[in-house]
């Protein structure tokens, strides 16, 4: 009888016990350790079906073609993609979600349509319309340093800097700043001063078309910043690449404390006229506990955008709130 109140598997159990007894009699710590290891190796086949249970799990399908690339090639691809786009003009749908595991609840708001204008390096205009009535819900413009946010339903305009608020609001969406959109719409260049750490990994996901579980091999390119002349490195960004086509599929942007500040996930590429652009971009703010799904209906790149397209017209009598 064993400690579990029964035999392991009849005669096989006595064979295992005998093997262990002979090995345990060996003198010397090293020999005993080695003997126990051998005993375990001998015991595993003897336990045939007695102490384990095998169950079937979904088997991930390996892609037929997996591409390889050097870190330099990944960097070159990101930089060429960034350099190729000077402006973006897009018709979109926004879907916002607030809350998560830290709050214990999650609220998804009704989707609404809008427009996005982007001109490098930092000029941004984002307009959202109320559902059904299609009147302007908000209109935000920024030059990269400051921003104005017009909220017509409240006859109110908010003015402030692009820096994150020193005292965050309990309403996560009030902490939103234009740089969050700019950082997510275009993955910024990787400079020669950046320290790089390339790694490889894989994940599984369900193919929306075939409904089958697929293995997605990835490259991860971590962009680091050295602290002075020390050997301490801080993560600035991590860019994920699909090894099926080497396109970037995600970027994590870190704050000074090493926490993920913004996480941008790029959906499958779609063709908009002559341009290839992600069909969706999901912007997650883990610390603020909200996310915004941007679905693109129309995208035009490198169309000239003038300064006045990034300036708001404030109606007379609108209340002005200046943020510190």
* pTM, two decimal places: 0.81
Strand 319-322 versus strand 156-161 pairing type:
parallel
Collect the ranges in the chain with pLDDT lower than 50: 1-16, 18-27, 29-31
Residue-level pLDDT at 7: 45
Positive or negative: CA dihedral 253, 255, 258, 260: negative
Helix (H, G, I), strand (E, B) or coil at 173: helix
Residue-level pLDDT at 4: 47
CATH for the stretch 71-115+165-305:
2.50.20
Angle at alpha carbon of residue 293, lines to 155 and 101, rounded to 5°: 100
Is the separation of the CB atoms in 88 and 301 below 8 Å? Answer: yes
**Sequence ranges of the chain with CATH classification 2.50.20:** 71-115+165-305
Residue-level pLDDT at 54: 87
Bridge partners of 127, per DSSP, are 115, 139
Residue-level pLDDT at 106: 86
Beta carbons within 10 angstroms of residue 69's beta carbon: 15
As a whole number of angstroms, the distance between CA 124 and CA 35 comes to 70
Residue-level pLDDT at 324: 72
As a whole number of angstroms, the distance between CA 161 and CA 27 comes to 75
Residue-wise pLDDT tens digits, 177-216: 899 999 999 999 999 999 999 999 998 888 888 888 989 8
H or E element in which residue 102 lies: none
Residue-level pLDDT at 41: 59
């Amino acid at each position: 009888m064993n400690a579990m109140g029964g035999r392991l598997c009849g005669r096989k159990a006595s064979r295992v016990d005998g093997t262990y007894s002979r090995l345990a009699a060996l003198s010397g710590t090293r020999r005993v350790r080695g003997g126990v290891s051998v005993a375990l190796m001998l015991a595993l086949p003897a336990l045939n079906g007695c102490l384990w249970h095998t169950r079937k799990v979904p088997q991930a399908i390996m892609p037929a073609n997996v591409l390889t690339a050097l870190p330099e090639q990944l960097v070159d691809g990101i930089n060429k993609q960034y350099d190729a786009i000077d402006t973006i003009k897009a018709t979109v749908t926004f879907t916002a979600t607030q809350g998560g595991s830290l709050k214990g609840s999650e609220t998804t708001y009704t989707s609404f349509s809008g427009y996005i204008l982007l001109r490098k390096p930092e000029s941004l205009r984002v307009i959202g319309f109320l559902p059904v009535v299609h009147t302007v819900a908000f209109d935000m413009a920024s030059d990269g340093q400051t921003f104005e946010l017009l909220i017509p339903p409240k006859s109110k305009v908010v003015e402030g800097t692009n820096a994150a608020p020193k005292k965050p609001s309990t309403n996560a969406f009030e902490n939103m700043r234009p740089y969050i959109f700019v950082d997510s719409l275009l993955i910024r260049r990787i400079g020669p001063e950046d320290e790089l750490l390339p790694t490889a990994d894989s994940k599984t996901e369900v193919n929306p078309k075939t409904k089958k579980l697929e293995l997605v091999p990835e490259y991860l390119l971590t962009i680091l910043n050295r602290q002075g002349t020390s050997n301490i490195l801080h993560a600035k960004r991590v860019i994920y690449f699909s090894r099926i086509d080497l396109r970037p599929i995600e970027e994590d942007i870190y704050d000074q404390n090493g926490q993920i500040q913004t996480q941008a996930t790029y959906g499958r590429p779609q063709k908009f006229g002559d341009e290839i652009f992600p069909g969706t971009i999901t912007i997650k703010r883990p610390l603020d506990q909200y996310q915004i799904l941007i679905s693109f209906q129309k995208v035009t790149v490198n169309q000239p955008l003038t300064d006045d397209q990034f300036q708001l017209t404030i109606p007379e009598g609108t209340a002005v709130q200046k943020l510190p």
